Structure 1
Amino acid sequence: MPANTIEHNRSRFNFEGIDAIWLFGYGSLIYKVDFPFLEQRPAAIRGWARRFWQGSHDHRGTPEAPGRVVTLIEQPGAVCRGMAFRVSPKVFEYLDVREKNGYLRFSTRMTFDDGSHADGLVYIATEDNEAFLGEAPEADIARQIALASGPSGPNSDYLLRLAESLRALGDDCTHTFSIETYLKTQASTGS
């Protein structure tokens, strides 16, 4: 699948007759809320783990030196915390462009902090997209993040802001926090 998923996403869901839908954010959508929303609530989805396995050629890196951003990987028993936004379907005209580098919209079931549930959408970059980088040692991921920068700024800013946002949500994402620790260690030792 090509990295640019705009047209593919626009043909995946028919929003006719829908005034609002929930969107689950687990990466930059948690802290970079540059879109209108009707409601915002902490939430979690089950069976998915957040991983820095997706390449960023358009925001946090370049085609020659891609950054790394998060996607979701299926993992039985995992719980991924994030932020849910109830949005107008018109918001996807913008978000499909923002999330175009390999991300597709999928249906998901969310659990809110009060135990209630809702169905909604989530952007996931699957293994078959051209920008998918896959698993790597966390120290190597941190090194790549430290060196990458793109039109949206340094890749390290993405990692640090995400880690800060996850702490504010009370999430213990060991993958993200481990990469953050490697990044800070590399910065302090100059390696």
Structure 2
Amino acid sequence: MTVLDPITSKKPYIVFGYGSLIFKPPPHVIAQVPGFLKGYVRRFAQMSHDHRGTPEHPGRVVTLIHKEDWDKFSASDPFPDEDVVWGVAYTIDPVYESEVRDDLDYRQQDGYTLESIDVYGFDDDGNEKVVLHDVRCYVGRNDNPSFIGSEPLDELAHKIWESVGPSGKNKEYLYNLVEAVRKLAPESRDSHLYALETRVKALDAE
């Protein structure tokens, strides 16, 4: 549940990270809660012109897509029912909320839209429950100009392997994300991430 800040009497600013925010958290975090989402797919379906690629040669980064939208146009890359999108919900120090919002808006400027989501976890008996309501999350909707959608996995892996941008190599983004997700929820499945990791590492070995 979301509670009011006792000093400001307003809801705290909480943002959910499912991509680079997992391994590169925002500044001024005062609390963090791991959790997972329902009804969303995590895919490397967003072009990166400004961080992991260039305008001429955009890289690929993850975005969340509503599962029903993904199912409509991605029959060749369905989201397995056993896969789970894990991430981290960060509560930001109210003193620095404006600064952090501006920083995140800049990091996510290439085609992302803010949505409010529920974050799930487990109770002591292992049952699913909502742990946080009304959490802010940057989602790359399929009508934004940087959304590229589903690509053949081998082509996508090669694009990630070869792309470089101001924030570094695209493959380092993939490797950092895979490592962070494994540490976050070792028991969970994320077949898309792990399949890409296998293919990109094979290209490294060639």
TM-score by length of 1: 0.85
How many angstroms apart in 1 are the aligned matches of 2:54 and 2:45? 16
Coordinate RMSD, CA, aligned: 1.7
Larger relative strand fraction: 1
- In the aligned structure 1, how far is the partner of 2:10 from the partner of 2:108? 22
Measured in 2, the distance between the counterparts of 1:96 and 1:182 equals: 32
Question: Does the CA contact (< 8 Å) of 1:42 and 1:113 recur in 2?
Answer: no
Say whether 1:184 aligns with 2:184.
no
| Percent sequence identity over aligned pairs | 38
Which runs of structure 2 are paired with 1:97-116 in the superposition (5 Å)? 97-114=106-123, 115-116=129-130
Identify which of 39, 44, 48 aligns with 2:36: 44
Q: Which runs of 5 or more residues in structure 2 are unaligned?
A: 1-7, 69-80, 124-128
Correspondence for 2:19 among 27, 33, 45: 27
Give 5+ residue unaligned stretches, structure 1: 1-15
Q: Which residue of 2 aligns with 1:81?
A: 86
Contact 2:48 2:60 in 1 (8 A): yes
1:5-25 CA distances to partner (integer Å, 9 max, x unpaired)? xxxxxxxxxxx9635122111
Say whether the 8 Å CA contact 1:47–1:79 is kept in structure 2: no
Q: Which has more radius of gyration?
A: 2
Measure the CA separation in 2 of the matches of 1:135 and 1:116.
Answer: 30
TM-score by length of 2: 0.79
Residues paired across the two proteins, number: 174
- Divergent runs of 4+, >4 A: none
SS of residue matched to 2:39: strand
Residue of structure 2 in register with 1:155 after alignment: 170
Alignment counterpart, residue 140 of structure 1, candidates 145, 148, 155: 155
- In 2, are the aligned partners of 1:39 and 1:86 still within 8 Å (CA)? yes
